[in-house]
Chains A and B, each alone.
Chain A
Amino acid sequence: MATKEKTLVETQQRHMGMKALNRISNTAVYILLTVISIVWLLPFAFILLQSFRVESTSPVGYVIPQQWGLDNYLQLWNSDFKRWYINTFIIALFAAVFVTIIQLCMSYTLSRFRFKLRGPMMRFMLILGMFPGMLTMIILYRVLADLGLTQANAVPGLILVSVASSGMGYYVSKGFFDTIPKSLDEAARVDGATRLQVLYKIILPLSKPIVIYTILTAFMGPWGDYVFARYVAFGTSAGYNVAVGMYSWLTNDQIAQMYTTFCAGGVIVAIPVTILFLCLQKYYVEGVTGGAVKG
Chain B
Amino acid sequence: MEENRILEMRGIEKSFPGVRALRGVDFSLNKGEIHALMGENGAGKSTLIKVLTGVYSKDNGKISMPGAEDIQIHSPQDAQNAGISTVYQEITLCPNLTVAENMYIGRGKGVITNWKKMNEDANKILRSLDIPATATQQLASCSIAVQQMVAIARAVDMDCKVLILDEPTSSLDEQEVEKLFGLMRDLKSRGVGIIFVTHFLDQVYAVCDRITVLRDGTLVGEYAIADLPRVELVAKMLGKEMDDLADIKGESAGYQGDIVDDVVFEAEGLQSDAGIKPFNFYIKKGEVNGFTGLLGSGRSECVRAIFGADRILGGKVKMHGKEVKIAKPLDAMKNGIAYLPEDRKIDGIVGDLSVRDNIILALQVLTGFFKPFSKAKAQAFAEEYIKKLNIKTASADTPIKSLSGGNQQKVILARWLLMHPEYLILDEPTRGIDVGTKVDIQKLVLELAGEGMSVTFISSETDEMLRTCSRLVVMRDRKTVGELSGDDLSQNKIMETIAGGEG
Do these two chains really belong together in a complex?
no
A residues in contact (CB < 8 Å) with B: none
